[in-house]
Amino acid sequence: MAKDNEKKDLDQLINSMFRGHRLNTVSAEDYLEQVRKSQDEMQNGLDQAQENQKKAEDTLNTTENAVDQLNAILRRQSEDLQKQSEALCDQSRDLGFTDQDFAKLQAEVQKDFGISVDVENQQKRQAQDLQAVLNGMQETAAQTGTVVLGQESFLADLSRAFFRPLASGQPEDRLRNVFVISGPAGSGRHLALSTMIPILAEKHWLASADVVTINGSHYAGSEQEKVFIQDIYAASCASAEVIVIELAEALYPPFLNQLMKLCQNEEVTLNKRYVLNKGKQLVEAGSSLVTQTVSTLKLTNKYIVFLTTSRKTLMQNFPNSMVEQILDQPAAQPLSPEVLLTIYQRLLNDSVQNAKKQLNVTLTLDDDAAQKRLAVLETSAGALALEKDVRQLNAAINELCLKQPEPVLEVRAEAGREWVFEVNGQRLAMSDLIRLEKDDLDAIRKEMDAIVGLQEVKDTLQSMEEHYKVTQLRQKQGLKAAPLSRHMIFTGNPGTGKTTMARLVARLFKALGLLSQGQLIEVSRSDLVGRYVGHTAPLTQQIIESALGGVLFIDEAYSLVRGKDDSFGLEAVDTLVKGMEDHRDDLIVILAGYSREMEEFLNANSGLKSRFPNILNFADYTGSELTQIAVSLAQGKDYVIDESCLNDLTIYFNAVQMNSAARSGNGRLARNTVEKAILNQSRRILNDPQARMDLLLREDFDLELS
């Protein structure tokens, strides 16, 4: 009855709500049944949720207990690890790993990871690997030392530079290390790198044995911007982990600034947008609509190695923040006579083996061949001079075998001032077989003697040559020998032969063995002094580098400094003086200019004056000397000056020189006079076809004073 009443009440309520418009409705009894079922399902879900929550809480409690147990184990292991680390520190000091290195390592780990369970695990792995790193560092240096002789300390420092990031756990998104390698030419810097890097790759300390080399002199101006960006990007993407930078001081200053930022793990924003072409080369984007462009540069996971002959000069171009960053500065030292002897003996042994292998020739050398050759070779260029001499020896042997009518089986080589070969009863000198890579002293002297006038200059150069030879004799007898100051100043008016004599000086000193190349680099103020702040020093340094092994000839040198406020000029002079000191064994600097101006220039800079003790004055030519020059010039053009006009020529030249030798041009006066006479002779020949075509008569010369 009660249920019926409930049903009735519910029906009334529904009817009142829908006002008789009930559509597809269910009965009140069915509806109540559905509600009860829903309530039961909700209760069951709630019970299940409560049960799951309880299980989760039990699991969490179990996990927390496990973590507590794990932490307790790790703490005990950490205590053991501390004891092991202390013992390892004591052992590592003998291997060159200092307390400062350990302190830095610990600080870096704490900074990067914090004090946590991960830190403890990292420290454990680091300590376990540290001994392997130290052993690898020592073994790498020792293995490289079997090839690069006499540089034990340098190789130890170089190996440490490569292993430093391996010991400190360098992050993946940073450069591994940036360091500077310095040392004189021929000391083994390049050889050390080319030997050590493959060893590191073979032992899996490096992923690749490849090296990317960037020469700063190739990017000396703003027009090389695209090439510079392309090459740096290619280096960043290359598999090679080592990037070698040579002549960084010659880089265009804005490029050097970008490189410095990259070396400090900064990202460099490019001035232009670039894209990768099909060849994966970076090229400038031609449209602003191009997507996937490259607008920044960054170097990661690379070693940046700066290579230089003067560490101080190089690092003067670095910002202080960069200098402070460079912890490793391996410096190769000049090779000792004992090491040079060992190297030369190795090279000669290689020659003997190659002769047998390639030519089937038994080459026999004197036991003291290496010592005899070293006594006459100029070794200021280190091992480079020895390698050059052996190359010439091998070339001579090859030529000897080719010139014999019958196959050559045996060759005996005698060392002395020149290699002499004995084959099939014949004796042949090296100069009979190949053209030596140096001028003949006698030929140079003949050329110098053929120059008209300048006797004072010739005598000074001869005195310098004689002094050098005496110095060599004193050294052979174990006596002290004062070094020969080779830098010079040429004073005199234009046309007095200063440039011509400078070329002969370069050849002369190369023939004497005092210069390795013998080239003449002729420059003026515009080639040395930059146009903006920071440009002069790199520009001057680049010029100095190009002149190494030869003569740097600076014409009108007094114009380098135009008063006390000429900061650019003063910077050029300071860089020049520094370069002269750094490369005093393989560079001659000659300053040239008017006598009075050069004197004022030197008096204004006492430091510069002291470095140029050899002042050679090129006097103006006399009338007689200019006549001799005119005769020689005419002969060079297949003309003959009639003897009847020689006296008139002399009188004319004397008059011109007396009035104004500085404006006459000296030698240029003789040249202009001859060339004008040849033009006049041409007109005369056309009117008289029977006349001698090679003869210059008095009427051909215009000898009237203006």
Spatial distance between the Cα atoms of 667 and 653, rounded to a whole number of angstroms: 11
The owner of tokens 């403890």 is 120
Give the 3-state DSSP-derived string for 542-600, with helices as H, strands as E and coil as C: HHHHHHCCCEEEECCHHHHCCCCCCHHHHHHHHHHHHHHHHCCCCCEEEEEECHHHHHH
Spatial distance between the Cα atoms of 376 and 383, rounded to a whole number of angstroms: 15
Judged by DSSP in three states, 211 sits in: strand
Task: For residue 12, name the pLDDT band (cuts at 50, 70, 90).
Answer: low
445 vs 158, more confident: 158
Amino acid, res. 242:
V
Task: For residue 18, name the pLDDT band (cuts at 50, 70, 90).
Answer: very low
The owner of tokens 């449209």 is 287
Looking at residue 682, its pLDDT comes to 85
Q: Within 10 A of 645 (CB to CB), how many other CB atoms are there?
A: 19
With left for phi above 0 and alpha for psi between -120 and 50, is residue 562 left, alpha or beta? beta
pLDDT at 291 over 70: no
Task: For residue 167, name the pLDDT band (cuts at 50, 70, 90).
Answer: confident
pLDDT at 235 over 60: yes
- Contact between 586 and 485 under an 8 Å Cβ cutoff? The reply is no
Looking at residue 16, its pLDDT comes to 55
Spatial distance between the Cα atoms of 91 and 93, rounded to a whole number of angstroms: 6
Looking at residue 201, its pLDDT comes to 94
Q: Which residues contact 282 (CB under 8 A, 6 or more apart)?
A: 229, 230, 233, 234, 274, 275, 276, 294
Q: Within 10 A of 436 (CB to CB), how many other CB atoms are there?
A: 14
Q: Which residues contact 217 (CB under 8 A, 6 or more apart)?
A: 247, 250, 542, 545, 546
Per residue in 537-583, pLDDT tens? 787 887 888 788 888 888 888 887 766 666 777 777 878 888 887 78
Burial 137-154 (b: 16+ CB within 10 A, else e): bbebbebbbeebbbbeeb
Per residue in 593-639, pLDDT tens? 888 888 877 776 666 777 787 888 888 888 888 888 888 888 878 88
Burial 479-494 (b: 16+ CB within 10 A, else e): eeeeeeebbbbbbbbb
> How far, in Å, are 182, 308, 477 from residue 247 at the CA level?
11, 7, 40
Judged by DSSP in three states, 78 sits in: helix
Dig out the tokens for 266 from the structure. 């900064």
Spatial distance between the Cα atoms of 608 and 206, rounded to a whole number of angstroms: 48
Spatial distance between the Cα atoms of 332 and 336, rounded to a whole number of angstroms: 12
Across-strand partners of 525? none
Give the 3-state DSSP-derived string for 79-146, with helices as H, strands as E and coil as C: HHHHHHHHHHHHHHHCCCCCHHHHHHHHHHHHHHHCCCHHHHHHHHHHHHHHHHHHHHHHHHHHHHCC
Helix (H) or strand (E) holding 461: helix 455-476
Dig out the tokens for 655 from the structure. 């008059």
∠ CA 193-196-201, rounded to 5°: 120
> pTM for this one?
0.51
Looking at residue 71, its pLDDT comes to 60
Which residue, 631, 552, 533, 572, is CA-closest to 257? 533
Per residue in 38-86, pLDDT tens? 667 666 766 776 676 666 566 556 655 655 665 665 566 555 555 555 5
Most confident option among 277-286, 293-302, 602-611: 293-302
> Cα torsion for 456, 462, 464, 466, to the nearest 10°?
-150
Give the 3-state DSSP-derived string for 299-338, with helices as H, strands as E and coil as C: CCCCEEEEEECCHHHHHCCCCHHHHHHCCCCCECCCCCHH
With left for phi above 0 and alpha for psi between -120 and 50, is residue 218 left, alpha or beta? alpha
- Contact between 633 and 674 under an 8 Å Cβ cutoff? The reply is yes
Spatial distance between the Cα atoms of 367 and 344, rounded to a whole number of angstroms: 12
Q: Within 10 A of 439 (CB to CB), how many other CB atoms are there?
A: 17
Mean pLDDT is lowest, of 106-110, 212-216, 266-270, 365-369, for 106-110
Spatial distance between the Cα atoms of 394 and 358, rounded to a whole number of angstroms: 11
Per residue in 326-362, pLDDT tens? 999 999 999 999 999 999 999 999 999 988 888 888 9
Looking at residue 116, its pLDDT comes to 40
Dig out the tokens for 389 from the structure. 């001499």
Burial 441-458 (b: 16+ CB within 10 A, else e): eeebbeebeebbbbeebb
pLDDT at 482 over 70: no
As a whole-number percent, the residues of the chain with pLDDT over 70 amount to 74
Spatial distance between the Cα atoms of 121 and 402, rounded to a whole number of angstroms: 70
The DSSP line for 177-191 is: EEEEEE--TTSSHHH
Helix (H) or strand (E) holding 370: helix 369-374
Dig out the tokens for 586 from the structure. 């393989």
- Contact between 489 and 520 under an 8 Å Cβ cutoff? The reply is no
Per residue in 238-262, pLDDT tens? 899 999 998 887 788 888 889 999 9
pLDDT at 523 over 80: yes
Per residue in 394-404, pLDDT tens? 888 888 887 77
- Contact between 534 and 253 under an 8 Å Cβ cutoff? The reply is yes
With left for phi above 0 and alpha for psi between -120 and 50, is residue 454 left, alpha or beta? left
The owner of tokens 């879900």 is 45
Name the CA radius of gyration of the chain, rounded. Answer: 42
